């Protein structure tokens, strides 16, 4: 009898709005960030839809200059 209870709890947990990713209305669909390295420059394409919290934090660090003069 425990199996149906576990399945119901699992379904409720997976459909909970707390687990759904937050939306990022202020971020564009994709953002291109250029980085200069010791081996040349690279371009990073950031997709907020893939990881909204990580993308927002990374772009915040870039825009505030936190990653400036960091060795890559």
User: How much is the pLDDT for 12?
Assistant: 46
What value, to the nearest 5°, has the Cα angle with vertex 60 and ends 47 and 36?
75
Q: Which of 37, 39, 33 is nearest to 71 (CA)?
A: 37
Q: Is 40 left (phi over 0), alpha (psi -120 to 50) or beta?
A: left
pLDDT digits (tens, 9 = 90+) for 35-68: 888 889 999 999 998 999 999 999 999 999 998 8
**Residue that the structure tokens 């890559």 belong to:** 72
User: How much is the pLDDT for 54?
Assistant: 93
Residue with the larger pLDDT of the pair 33 and 17 = 33
* Entry field: residues in the chain: 72
């Amino acid at each position: 009898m425990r199996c149906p209870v576990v399945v119901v709890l699992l379904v409720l947990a997976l459909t909970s709005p707390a687990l759904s990713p937050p939306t990022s209305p202020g971020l564009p669909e994709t953002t291109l960030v250029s980085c200069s390295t010791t081996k040349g420059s690279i371009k990073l394409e950031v997709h907020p839809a893939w990881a909204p919290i990580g993308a927002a934090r990374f772009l915040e660090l870039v825009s505030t200059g936190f990653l400036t003069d960091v060795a890559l």
